[in-house]
Amino acid sequence: MKKQKSHNAILKELKAGNGRFLQGKSLQSSKSSLKKLQDFAKTGQFPKAIVLCCSDSRAPVEMIFDQDLGDLFVIRVAGNVVAPSLVGSVEFAANLFGTRLVLVMGHTQCGAIRATLNHIQDAEEISSANIFAIVNRIKPHILPIAKMKKLTMTQKMKRAVEANVRASVSQLSHSSQVIEDLVQKKEMKILGAVLNLSTGQVDFLDM
């Protein structure tokens, strides 16, 4: 197994990549990516970070962090919720590739968060049992925020997105014996962040 860089070194690379993306100075090119893809087909992958993020089409993780093919093990699900299959995906990357930095990334204007707020506040009907399963995972984490009458919807959305990310970080940290052991031994670091869709900037949350 390839030796991974330190958590701080990888985090620094992600922040630098987001900075290049914001400045329009991304380094990645299709030519180099194709060459890497061909190499990975022979040698296998060793992603530097695992990213659990929302499925939103406006949040392509590799582009936002200016990372190339094979750099990130990306797990996408509406509302960046934590469920057994997603936990298994984190365990898979940690066990097979030695990936030890995990980032849970939410984003502004999240449809899953808005749907959950509307469901709580206005008893808005959820269109399917599968979507309800996602809403049901988000609901406990943002219920107090939804009931704050003095907040505007914009303020509730901001707080709810952050609260949901923090909750997912906490859940993931204690979701399995494998992950919990790695975290306790300080061999795995799980962080939270929010992507601002209006600017492209990723803000890392104090955990």
Predicted confidence at residue 15, as pLDDT, reads 97
Q: Please say whether the beta carbons of 182 and 188 come within 8 A.
A: yes
DSSP 154-205: HHHHHHHHHHHHHHHHHHHHTS-HHHHHHHHTTS-EEEEEEE-TTT--EEEP
Q: 129 in a domain, yes or no?
A: yes
Predicted confidence at residue 41, as pLDDT, reads 77
Task: Supply the range of the domain harboring residue 117.
Answer: 7-204
Distance CA 163, CA 127 (A): 24
CATH code of residue 187: 3.40.1050.10
Mean pLDDT of 120-130: 86
Q: 139 in a domain, yes or no?
A: yes
Confidence of residue 102 (pLDDT cuts 50, 70, 90): very high
Position 55 pLDDT exceeds 80: yes
Mean pLDDT of 96-122: 95
Paired tokens of 7: 């958590």
* Angle in degrees, CA 90, 96, 100, rounded to 5: 55
Position 58 pLDDT exceeds 90: yes
Predicted confidence at residue 1, as pLDDT, reads 59
Confidence of residue 34 (pLDDT cuts 50, 70, 90): confident
Confidence of residue 43 (pLDDT cuts 50, 70, 90): confident
Confidence of residue 2 (pLDDT cuts 50, 70, 90): low
Q: 14 in a domain, yes or no?
A: yes
In this prediction the pTM is 0.93
Q: 96 in a domain, yes or no?
A: yes
Q: 2 in a domain, yes or no?
A: no
Tell how far CA 111 is from the center of its chain: 15
- Residue 123 main-chain phi, psi, to 5 deg: 55, 35
pLDDT in tens, 131-186: 999 999 999 999 999 999 999 999 999 999 999 999 999 999 999 999 999 999 99
Q: Domain count for the chain, please give it.
A: 1
Mean pLDDT of 52-74: 95
Residues of the chain with pLDDT > 90, as a percent, come to 81
Q: 1 in a domain, yes or no?
A: no
Higher model confidence: residue 131 or residue 43? 131
Mean pLDDT of 91-100: 93
